[in-house]
Amino acid sequence: MKAAVVHEAGAPFTVEEVQIAAPQGGEVLIDVQASGLCHSDLSARNFGIGGAFPAIFGHEVAGIVSAVGPDVTEFRVGDHVVGSLIQACGQCLHCLSGDLVNCEHPERTERPADAEPRLSLNGSKLTQGMALGGFAQQALIDDRQLAKVPADMPWAQAALIGCGVLTGAGAVLNTAAVKQGETVVIIGAGGVGLNAISGAVVAGATTIIVTDIDDGKLERATHFGATHVVNSAKQDPVEAVLEITGGGAPHVFDFVGAAPTLKQAAGMLEQGGTMYIIGIGGPEAKLEINALEFLVARKNLRTVYMGHSNLKRDIPMYAELYRQGRFKLDELITKTISLSQIDEGYEALKDGSIARVVVTDLER
Ligand SMILES: NC(=O)c1ccc[n+]([C@@H]2O[C@H](COP(=O)([O-])OP(=O)(O)OC[C@H]3O[C@@H](n4cnc5c(N)ncnc54)[C@H](O)[C@@H]3O)[C@@H](O)[C@H]2O)c1
Ligand SMILES: [Zn+2]
Ligand SMILES: [Zn+2]
C-alpha cells in the first residue's frame, strides 16, 4: 500500500510503497477514506517529537473496516470508524474511572518492540505515528483507539472528530466543564480552536471572545459563534479582554502555546480563573509566572491533553450533534487534497481563508 513517509526531522512527506501487517489480537485493519492535517503532525515532523524516523504520521483518520483480528468483538468488516491518538489500555485504574488520557499503559495499544512491526519499508520498521499512521491507504489500529460513526457521516467531517474536535470541544466541555452563562476566551482560531468555539456554544457560554493574528480566521470564528473577536497583531489582546469582560475571564484557552500567548492568557484571567494550555508552541516555549501574583489572584493553570476525552463516548456524541445540525463540521473543511500533497496542505494552512485541510484522495 502507499503511504506518506517522513525520513528525518524536517524532511518532506513522500509517498512510497510500504508494507502493512495482517491484524492480530485486537487489531483492526481499515481502508483509509480521509485523513486531516493537524498542526501536531507538523510539530512531530519538524521537531522529531513523534517517535523515531522514518515514520508515517496522520492522526485524524476515518475509514472502513476491511479486516479484524481474532479478539475484536466491537467492530465488523464494513463498519465506518474514526481513530483517536488516545492510547488507553482499558484495564488500569485511570481507564476504569473514565480518565483515558492518563492511562498507565498506553503502549498496550501498540505491538511489543520485538514483535513483527505493523508497518515496514523494505524490511525495516516504520514508526506508526501515534499508533495510527493515517497518512496512508490503509492503517492497522488497536480497537481501543477506534470508535464507530454512522455510515451516512461524510468522511472528511468524521476524520476531524478524531483530534481537532475531541481536543477543542473537549477542552471546553470536559476539562473546563464550562457552564451556561459563562465567559470564555479562545486564543488561536485554527482547526482546533474553532471546535472550542463550537464546544462553548454547546455549553451555553454567553460571551465567547476569540483572538487570532489573522482577520480571515477571525471572520470564520464569528461564523462559528464568537461574540467578540480581537486581532492581537493590531490590538493588545489582554487590554481588549479586560475591557470586554470588565476585569478578566474565568476560562482562557491557549491554542497557540507560544511564549507571548501564554503570557497573554495569564493576563486575561479574572480572580480564580483558569488558563488552559493546549497549543504546542515548540520545545522552547516558556511561561514565566509570578507565583505570588498568581496565588494572590487565585489563578489556575491546567494543561489539556486531547480535551480529556473519552473517545468511545465522545466521538459518537459529536457525530450525532453534527447530524442534528448542532455542531459545525462542514465549515471546517476548506480544502481537500491527495496523499501526495501533504506539504502543500500544511503550507495552505498559513492562509487565513483555510480552516482545515483533509486528505480525501488516497490515490488508489
Ligand atoms: N494538547 C493537545 O492534546 C493537542 C491536540 C491537538 C492539537 N494540539 C495543538 O493545538 C494547536 C492548534 O492546532 P491547529 O491544528 O488548530 O493549528 P492551526 O495552525 O490550524 O491554528 C493555529 C491558529 O493560531 C493562530 N495564531 C498563531 N499565532 C498566534 C498568536 N500569536 N496569537 C493568536 N493567534 C495566533 C493562527 O493564525 C491559527 O489560526 C497546535 O499547536 C497543535 O499542535 C494540541
Ligand atoms: Zn491533532
Ligand atoms: Zn489504562
Instruction: Write out pLDDT tens, residues 249-294.
Output: 999 999 999 999 999 999 999 999 999 999 988 888 999 999 999 9
pLDDT at 262: 97
Considering only CA atoms, which residue is closest to atom 38 of ligand 1?
190
Average pLDDT over residues 46-53: 89
pLDDT at 349: 87
pLDDT of residue 352 exceeding 80, the answer is no
pLDDT at 214: 94
The answer to whether 20 touches 138, Cβ cutoff 8 Å, is yes
Domains of the chain as residue ranges with CATH: 2-148+329-361 (3.90.180.10), 168-305 (3.40.50.720)
Residues 6+ apart with CB under 8 A from 117: 21, 111, 125, 126
Which atom of ligand 1 is nearest the CA belonging to 214?
37
- pLDDT bucket at 3, cuts 50 / 70 / 90: very high
Which atom of ligand 1 is nearest the CA belonging to 43?
43
Q: What is the pLDDT of residues 191-205, one digit of tens each?
A: 899 999 999 999 999
Task: Give Cα 284 to chain centroid, integer Å.
Answer: 21
C-alpha distance across the termini of the chain, in Å: 9
Distance CA 160, CA 71 (A): 28
Kind plus residue range of the DSSP H or E element containing 27: strand 27-36
Considering only CA atoms, which residue is closest to atom 33 of ligand 1?
212
Quote the cell numbers at residue 95.
481507564
Q: Count the helices and strands in the chain (H runs, E runs).
A: 11, 20
Which atom of ligand 1 is nearest the CA belonging to 277?
1
Q: What is the pLDDT of residues 148-175, one digit of tens each?
A: 999 999 999 999 999 999 999 999 999 9
Which atom of ligand 1 is nearest the CA belonging to 264?
32
What percent of the chain is predicted at pLDDT more than 90? 94
Q: Who lines ligand 1 at CB under 6 A? A: 38-40, 43, 163, 167, 187-193, 211-214, 217, 232, 255-258, 260-261, 278-280, 304-306, 349
How many angstroms separate the alpha carbon of residue 82 from the centre of ligand 2? 13
**The whole model's pTM is what?**
0.94
Kindly give the residue spans of alpha helices, DSSP state H, lying in the chain.
Answer: 39-47, 93-96, 155-160, 166-170, 193-203, 215-224, 237-245, 259-267, 291-296, 311-323, 342-348
Distance CA 329, CA 183 (A): 23
Q: What is the pLDDT of residues 297-347, one digit of tens each?
A: 999 999 999 999 999 999 999 999 999 999 999 999 989 999 999 999 999
Residue with cell 461524510: 154
Q: What is the pLDDT of residues 76-98, one digit of tens each?
A: 999 999 999 999 999 999 999 99
For residue 98, which ligand has an atom nearest its CA?
3
Mean pLDDT of the chain: 96
* Alpha-carbon distances, residue 262 vs 85, 194, 196, 305 (angstroms): 25, 18, 17, 16
pLDDT of residue 229 exceeding 90, the answer is yes
How many angstroms separate the alpha carbon of residue 117 from the centre of ligand 2? 24
pLDDT at 119: 98
